[in-house]
Structure 1
Amino acid sequence: MFVGILHDQLPNPHCYDWLTSPGQNLRVQEAHTLPQLDWGAHQRQCALVALEDVKAYLTEDSGQIAVFDATNTTRERRALILNFAEENSFKVFFVESVCDDPDVIAANILEVKVSSPDYPERNRENVMEDFLKRIECYKVTYQPLDPDNYDKDLSFIKVINVGQRFLVNKVQDYIQSKIVYYLMNIHVHPRTIYLCRHGESEFNLLGKIGGDSGLSVRGKQFAQALRKFLEEQEIADLKVWTSQLKRTIQTAESLGVTYEQWKILNEIDAGVCEEMTYAEIKEQYPDEFALRDEEKYLYRYPGGESYQDLVQRLEPVIMELERQGNVLVISHQAVMRCLLAYFLDKGADELPYLRCPLHTIFKLTPVAYGCKVETIKLNVEAVNTHRDKPTNNFPKNQTPVRMRRNSFTPLSSSNTVRRPRNYSVGSRPLKPLSPLRALDMQEGADQPKTQVSIPAETSLAVHRLSSPASPTLLF
């Protein structure tokens, strides 16, 4: 029995950016007068205008996924969308959120609709009454997706009572399967995610990156301050996650609670630059230092990882965070940047330069249409490990790093994170690097003039996830 459709449970487009598939949410702003029979032409015109934006985004802006957020509750409206997709060779995946639980509907209106751009400040006192009337009007024309007969050939998922049950029909490709995976892992229950870095480490004091050093004296003081903070918060059923590196484990040990170690939460692998200072990297590998400054997100350390690699590595953590309640994640600077970028919807240009200072807690509260963030700095001094984005002073004829990200330096092994990384500086296996690896590339070329041989078993590991043959539309 139909009572309401919760359209605002559609996933935000940043979940697709996380999968290296550019996405955009295109929303049909509908008037707040109740649906009338003579209003159909107006609705249709609004939908057509929005679909033209979809077309422009997918064909002109190199988009891969568009979220068309509207009241597609009739077969006529869905036929309009399907015809549009067929004309433009787009794939379509419908998301229908159905609710017949009055308590869930009321909670959804208060939690979601009050934050909705549909309701300006002046109308929020009447949100409940107004939206219940809208539901009653939509019930008159609502035609649910029919997996047994009329809609058996369509690709879609029904989300019933905000995740109590799911019905999935005819998933066509990898991207659609990831959408299903995402929707089946999220929930709308109140929760808080706490993100912080480990306490200041010995290598932080020395200005060295990577490695597996322990906490400094001030780092241990932070761990105690973190324990006091958590005790004062009295957080119900708090889970604590750490990486498998010593500095996060030592921080968690001081909390006096059970914690879980995640190998994929380990810091970004700096390859041959592990346990070096930035000054040492600039002196020994000046070309690598310059290339990383040019495009920090895509640059991969020789024998190590890029931020793009790290984003892919962290996907299981993201999905698990979406499923959980209250969680404290004690991680590292690069890892924390990736997690913040996901929840705060930051792009690849911003991600590597997000400020994640030591001894600071980020309190994230997921809400409809975004995520509230509160920064809490504990009163323990620490070194500053942040490097600002450099000014762009690269030669105009130099090929951007994005053209070489999959052509050079494959991951050192299928096991991209090593623990412990405790080899000494003197015995680090340094290999000679080709000078100015990107400078000999012709502008616009995907391959260097000198062919670089990459073993077949590792080349698969460094290529981006394959894009679908056709762009995907999500409704």
Structure 2
Amino acid sequence: MAARQQRPAAASDGSAEPKRTDLRSHEKKCSWASYMTNSPTVIVMIGLPARGKTYMSKKLTRYLNWIGVPTKVFNLGVYRRDAVKSYKSYDFFRHDNEEAMGIRKQCALVALQDVKAYLSEEGGQIAVFDATNTTRERRELILNFAKDNAYKVFFVESICDDPDVIAENIMEVKVSSPDYPERNRESVMEDFLKRIECYKVTYQPLDPDEHDKNLSFIQIINVGQRFLVNRVQDYIQSKIVYYLMNIHVHSHSIYLCRHGESQHNIEGLIGGDSELSEGGKQFAAALKGFVEEHRLSDLKVWTSQLRRTIQTAEELGVPYEQWKILNEIDAGVCEEMTYKMIEEKYPEEFAMRDQDKYHYRYPGGESYQDLVQRLEPVIMELERQGNVLVICHQAVMRCLLAYFLDKSADDLPYLKCPLHTVLKLTPVAYGCKVDMFNLKVEAVNTHRDRPLVTLWSELPVFLCF
């Protein structure tokens, strides 16, 4: 006879009242499913080559995924390179090259079908269509596609006539493009400038006064010197506009570190507002030496409003700003407890957190998902600042790091952020360079690895005869 797989027993009193775990699980699913969009949206990039479209596409996608809106980039250059295995010269982009024009249109149609699959079948909410889209004919094709599938459309046009910015973009990004395997700087620059001229012949910018006055869009002029925003339709489009108006393309680095080791760290207690240990004070002194050694004279320093970060910053002898939103994740009823104490006193909560650490919310406290929402203003400020040192906490540092390194919600709560270590994040063309500095001051290890969790639904069914 086959033995049934064991399941948790129902309440013995026959009550239909749902268990606390059921309520918490339902709450999690509702919050995760209630995205900020009431219908899928296609973000359509517009602009001549070397105007930063792919840079913006990737950053915007990273940001939207970080705040919990499933987003994916569809770069038409990838489709073109799949269709035409070897790029020869700018002639491919001439408007009178009928064969090439046909290939490019077919690539766009294939990409739009992938957009449809992502938004209609795979659970995506926003698709970023990263291409030049410089003609009204191409934009009309996309608008008709969106109308047929009940998608909203938001255009992002990058306009730049600064030759220095254009040349810098070509040298930073296009020299390493798969289109130019030989990577000869002079020949790449020459060919790419001719490619731009090919596009200029047929380029029709958005016309906010007449032809395109009813479309939803933002025009970004000369890398954020000016903006023109037209007919924003909903909340998510307003967030997109706000984000794009805050990302500034300038050379800077962001330094992230946790406070020095605290008394609670030594005792294994989470949360609270304890002071630095002796080792923590040594780290604060070492951090001062690090700042001086790297000659970070124009450095801004941010801390939370908890004593352990403030004491760490005080040792630097420079002005610093206290941000309440940089405070550590609120552990609610579990504040100032060890994980062992939580497991013994709240075994159900302990198990639920191991099942889904990102969405789990401490009773009376926060989840990592809550923390991401709380930290959004910090991200906006970091994007527009120069060099900044953020002295924060483990969960906070994980959230900030996940944004810059494009980590998923599943991976975010398990990112390693050891005490007494400084991470230097330097934005590069399409990502972020990370340098790690261990300041050689011993500290306890507060990291908990991802547990091996077995769900009821994954347990095997054993057959007994």
TM-score normalised by length of structure 1: 0.81
Instruction: Quote the Cα distance in structure 1 between the aligned partners of 2:54 and 2:179.
Output: 11
**Does the 8 A contact of 2:224 with 2:248 survive in 1?**
yes
Cα drift, residue 19 of structure 1: 2.3
Which has the larger share of helix?
2
Report how many residues are paired: 398
1:55-76 deviations in Å (ceiling 9; x for gaps): 1110111100111101100111
| Change over 3 Å in CA distance of 1:114–1:227 after alignment to 2 | farther
Which of 288, 304, 307 is matched with 2:365 structurally?
Answer: 304
Which position in structure 2 is the counterpart of 1:325?
386
Cα drift, residue 395 of structure 1: 1.7
1:416-436 deviations in Å (ceiling 9; x for gaps): xxxxxxxxxxxxxxxxxxxxx
> Given residue 400 of structure 2, which amino acid in structure 1 is its aligned partner?
L
| Change over 3 Å in CA distance of 1:248–1:120 after alignment to 2 | farther
| Change over 3 Å in CA distance of 1:120–1:293 after alignment to 2 | farther
Partner of 1:314: helix, strand, or coil?
A: helix
| Change over 3 Å in CA distance of 1:22–1:253 after alignment to 2 | same
> Given residue 335 of structure 1, which amino acid in structure 2 is its aligned partner?
V
Which of 11, 24, 27 is matched with 2:72 structurally?
Answer: 24
Which of 394, 397, 400 is matched with 1:336 structurally?
Answer: 397
**Does the 8 A contact of 2:359 with 2:367 survive in 1?**
yes
| Change over 3 Å in CA distance of 1:227–1:389 after alignment to 2 | same
**Does the 8 A contact of 2:66 with 2:402 survive in 1?**
no
| Change over 3 Å in CA distance of 1:4–1:272 after alignment to 2 | closer
In the TM superposition, 1:21-420 aligns within 5 A as 21-29=69-77, 30=80, 32=87, 33-34=89-90, 35-36=93-94, 37=96, 38=98, 39-116=100-177, 118-120=179-181, 122=183, 126-396=187-457
Cα drift, residue 3 of structure 1: 9.6
Cα drift, residue 122 of structure 1: 4.0
> Given residue 99 of structure 1, which amino acid in structure 2 is its aligned partner?
C
Cα drift, residue 113 of structure 1: 2.9
Cα drift, residue 115 of structure 1: 5.0
> Given residue 28 of structure 1, which amino acid in structure 2 is its aligned partner?
L
1:137-167 deviations in Å (ceiling 9; x for gaps): 1111111000011111111111100000111
1:364-397 deviations in Å (ceiling 9; x for gaps): 0011111111111111010000000001223228
**Does the 8 A contact of 2:279 with 2:441 survive in 1?**
yes
Which position in structure 2 is the counterpart of 1:442?
none
**Does the 8 A contact of 1:3 with 1:139 survive in 2?**
no
**Does the 8 A contact of 1:195 with 1:363 survive in 2?**
yes
Which of 52, 73, 82 is matched with 1:6 structurally?
Answer: 52
Instruction: Quote the Cα distance in structure 2 between the aligned partners of 1:109 and 1:4.
Output: 6
Instruction: Quote the Cα distance in structure 2 between the aligned partners of 1:11 and 1:175.
Output: 15
**Does the 8 A contact of 1:2 with 1:100 survive in 2?**
no
**Does the 8 A contact of 1:223 with 1:254 survive in 2?**
yes
Q: Matched residues, percent identical?
A: 72
| Change over 3 Å in CA distance of 1:176–1:115 after alignment to 2 | farther
**Does the 8 A contact of 1:116 with 1:369 survive in 2?**
no
> Given residue 319 of structure 1, which amino acid in structure 2 is its aligned partner?
M
1:104-157 deviations in Å (ceiling 9; x for gaps): 211222233345555446455633222211111111111100001111111111
Instruction: Quote the Cα distance in structure 2 between the aligned partners of 1:122 and 1:180.
Output: 35
| Change over 3 Å in CA distance of 1:118–1:391 after alignment to 2 | farther
| Change over 3 Å in CA distance of 1:113–1:297 after alignment to 2 | same
Partner of 1:317: helix, strand, or coil?
A: helix
Cα drift, residue 101 of structure 1: 1.2
| Change over 3 Å in CA distance of 1:91–1:391 after alignment to 2 | same
Cα drift, residue 103 of structure 1: 1.5
Instruction: Quote the Cα distance in structure 2 between the aligned partners of 1:244 and 1:379.
Output: 26
Q: What are the ranges of 5 or more consecutive residues in structure 1 without an aligned counterpart?
A: 399-475
1:178-218 deviations in Å (ceiling 9; x for gaps): 11000100111100000000000000000000000000000
Instruction: Quote the Cα distance in structure 2 between the aligned partners of 1:3 and 1:287.
Output: 55
Cα drift, residue 5 of structure 1: 3.7
Instruction: Quote the Cα distance in structure 1 between the aligned partners of 2:126 and 2:239.
Output: 12
> Given residue 73 of structure 2, which amino acid in structure 1 is its aligned partner?
N
Partner of 2:301: helix, strand, or coil?
A: strand
**Does the 8 A contact of 2:154 with 2:217 survive in 1?**
yes
1:264-309 deviations in Å (ceiling 9; x for gaps): 0000000000000000000100110000000000000000000000
Which position in structure 2 is the counterpart of 1:426?
none
Deviates more, 1:236-245 or 1:330-339: 236-245
TM-align CA RMSD: 1.8
Instruction: Quote the Cα distance in structure 2 between the aligned partners of 1:209 and 1:293.
Output: 16
Cα drift, residue 256 of structure 1: 0.7
Partner of 2:269: helix, strand, or coil?
A: coil
> Given residue 289 of structure 1, which amino acid in structure 2 is its aligned partner?
F
| Change over 3 Å in CA distance of 1:313–1:120 after alignment to 2 | farther
Instruction: Quote the Cα distance in structure 1 between the aligned partners of 2:62 and 2:180.
Output: 23
Q: What are the ranges of 5 or more consecutive residues in structure 2 without an aligned counterpart?
A: 1-46, 82-86, 460-465
Cα drift, residue 9 of structure 1: 3.7
Instruction: Quote the Cα distance in structure 2 between the aligned partners of 1:184 and 1:104.
Output: 18
Partner of 2:207: helix, strand, or coil?
A: coil
| Change over 3 Å in CA distance of 1:177–1:87 after alignment to 2 | same
**Does the 8 A contact of 1:236 with 1:326 survive in 2?**
no
**Does the 8 A contact of 1:207 with 1:277 survive in 2?**
yes
| Change over 3 Å in CA distance of 1:125–1:194 after alignment to 2 | farther
> Given residue 26 of structure 1, which amino acid in structure 2 is its aligned partner?
F
Partner of 2:189: helix, strand, or coil?
A: helix
Instruction: Quote the Cα distance in structure 2 between the aligned partners of 1:385 and 1:3.
Output: 47
**Does the 8 A contact of 1:18 with 1:312 survive in 2?**
no
Which position in structure 2 is the counterpart of 1:445?
none
